[in-house]
Structure 1
Amino acid sequence: MYIKKDIFEKVVKIRKKDAHKGDSGKVLVVAGSKDYVGAAELSASAALAVLRTGVDIVTVTAPEKVAWAINSVNSDLITKKIKCDYFESKHAKEIIELSREFDVVLIGPGLGREKETFSFVKLLVEKIKKPKVIDADAIKAVDMNKVVNSVFTPHRAELIKLLKNSKIKIERDEDLAGFVKNNILLIKGKIDVIISKKEIEYNNAGNAGMTVGGTGDVLAGLCAGFLAQGNNLIDSACAAAYLNGVVGEKLLKKSGYGFIASDFIDEIPVVLKRLRKI
């Protein structure tokens, strides 16, 4: 079944007039590596996308230099600075403890592929039981069989690595429904495929310009944002894919194929308002 815009009647919450800070969700973004070119921008794109869904609080925890770079370009983002060049296993306890203050954890943008970082990611995703979005380099580190309550957002190459790590062999995307358990796969492509153990949804919103770097980080942020506002995994993944695609379509009409990931950020709330009719 193809995703339709009426999903936003379900996932976009109307705020109460007496709402307090934090009532609309809190997200922790675990991201960044000193040696990863553009790590700060990727981390910021994901975090800003979270905010643009209507979430109240987003904190990016990142290696110190990456975190300072994020702060230097955007004052809307809170950062938790870790004294390291890249995350290692020894940092897992601190981040797991920090995650208890949040509703959702997004792991992956700009993390890099250091062996120790992969060990760190494995500890995080296996120990943190609350809703998670697992994106980018983090996907390459994990065994899906050991993870619960998560949305994975792989493109095709990342999916191959994830399935290899998980010792899963399939011939068709539809076969994955038997392996995801209580997780969701959001497979990015010309047509996005969103797979749960009970259903498979498709998203055809979007265009070829969205192959530009960083749009996947925006997608992960959108997914985390909808999750943090109390939506389930499948609805959050479907809404994120559709919204990301519709924003991409608007940017194509406006700018042609020259748009970049940062262009999405300001357009997200405008398009979301139209889709939800609020």
Structure 2
Amino acid sequence: MIEVSSSILKKVYRPRSKYSKKGDFGKLLIIGGNQRYSGAPALAAYAAIASLRSGVDIVMVVAPKRAANIVASFSPNLITEPIDGKYFTPKHVKPVLDMIKKFDAVCIGSGLGTEKETSKFVNKLLDSIKKPCVVDADAIKALKNKELGNNFVLTPHSYEFYDLTGEKPKMDMTSRIKIVEKVSKKIRSTILLKGVIDIISDGKQTAINRTGNPYMTTGGTGDVLTGICGSLLAQGNKPFDSACAAAFITGRAGDLAAVEKKQGLLATDVIEKIPEAVA
């Protein structure tokens, strides 16, 4: 087992050639948001902005029309693709798969919602995704021990881990590490279990991350991590390395933001510290 340190940054961020052009450092598609909950589009937007701050060249958010319009209002840097309806359903699987062909990596889950039809959409879509993919939040709740593949990274907190597996992670580190390793082997994917100490495993190798602080319990910080992980995948990094680096960067950015903000810390404060965290 290893402990993630700043050395991971050299592994996931390689020197850029002076001849670099748009798209050389990845294109990321984020699938999220719904019209039923007013805050849902913000979560997808947080993930998108965080991915840009962590180095990906292009990010697009596909979301229900009203949600897509709200996401676009967060920043002129965001590109959105609206779909019809209030939330994702199985009829959206084919058009979304067609979009994925144009991207290097995918994130799914931020503000997605938990409607039954959306859960069906998630399962059918993930059966066909071959690109590197981060699965978070509401998308995790739809899976229930589903075997995915080594191109996937799942980023649950303890409650989402229970939704996924039916097992509650215990508080002691030895037990938590064992259960993450067991489940990652079972579903053949990388798992990043978020907590006071993050645990990352792909079933073959395991790491822990100690960056982060108690002020990061505010909503949206998990979506920031999702965006960072997706960004690193889109830039060509391996799932395990991307998960380790995303945990480290998110926590370090949160630590930098907490110096000033403390209990007033917001997810947007973490996003603004990403460039400093990776410097």
* Superposition TM-score, scaled by structure 1 size: 0.93
Contact 1:36 1:111 in 2 (8 A): no
Contact 1:51 1:58 in 2 (8 A): yes
Q: 1:206 aligns with which of 212, 219, 240?
A: 212
SS of equivalent residue, structure 1 residue 194? strand
Which residue of structure 2 lines up, in the alignment, with residue 276 of structure 1? none
SS of equivalent residue, structure 1 residue 81? strand
Which residue of structure 2 lines up, in the alignment, with residue 154 of structure 1? 156
Cα distance, 1:227–1:144 mapped onto 2, change above 3 Å: farther
Shift, 1:169, TM fit: 9.2
Q: Could you give the per-residue CA deviations for residues 12-67 of structure 1, whole angstroms, max 9, x where no partner exists?
A: 12111111211100000000010123112111100011111111100000000000
Cα distance, 1:170–1:108 mapped onto 2, change above 3 Å: closer
SS of equivalent residue, structure 1 residue 240? helix
Q: Report the more deviating stretch, 69-78 or 211-220.
A: 69-78
Which residue of structure 1 lines up, in the alignment, with residue 76 of structure 2? 75
SS of equivalent residue, structure 1 residue 190? coil
Counterpart check, 1:13 vs 2:17: no
Q: Distance in 1 between matches of 2:184 and 2:210?
A: 22
Which residue of structure 1 lines up, in the alignment, with residue 38 of structure 2? 37
Which residue of structure 1 lines up, in the alignment, with residue 26 of structure 2? 25
Cα distance, 1:144–1:11 mapped onto 2, change above 3 Å: farther
Correspondences of 1:80-229 after superposition (within 5 Å): 80-148=81-149, 149-164=151-166, 172-173=175-176, 174-181=178-185, 182-229=188-235
Q: Distance in 2 between matches of 1:66 and 1:109?
A: 12
Where does the alignment leave 5 or more consecutive residues of structure 2 unmatched? none
Q: Distance in 1 between matches of 2:179 and 2:36?
A: 37
Q: Which runs of 4+ in 1 moved over 4 A?
A: 168-171
Which residue of structure 1 lines up, in the alignment, with residue 54 of structure 2? 53
Q: Which amino acid aligns with 1:229?
A: Q
Q: Distance in 2 between matches of 1:158 and 1:193?
A: 14
Q: Distance in 2 between matches of 1:136 and 1:194?
A: 17
Shift, 1:179, TM fit: 3.7
Counterpart check, 1:263 vs 2:276: no
* Superposition TM-score, scaled by structure 2 size: 0.93
Q: Report the more deviating stretch, 85-94 or 179-188.
A: 179-188
SS of equivalent residue, structure 2 residue 267? coil
Q: Distance in 2 between matches of 1:248 and 1:179?
A: 28
Q: Distance in 2 between matches of 1:3 and 1:211?
A: 21
Q: Distance in 1 between matches of 2:277 and 2:108?
A: 26
Q: Report the more deviating stretch, 58-67 or 255-264.
A: 255-264
Contact 1:13 1:229 in 2 (8 A): no
Where does the alignment leave 5 or more consecutive residues of structure 1 unmatched? 274-278
Contact 2:109 2:138 in 1 (8 A): yes
Provide the alpha-carbon RMSD of the alignment.
1.5
SS of equivalent residue, structure 2 residue 36? coil
Q: Distance in 2 between matches of 1:188 and 1:169?
A: 13
Q: 1:236 aligns with which of 236, 239, 242?
A: 242
Cα distance, 1:220–1:170 mapped onto 2, change above 3 Å: closer
Shift, 1:170, TM fit: 8.4
Q: Distance in 2 between matches of 1:10 and 1:39?
A: 33
Matched residues, number: 270
Q: Report the more deviating stretch, 56-65 or 187-196.
A: 187-196
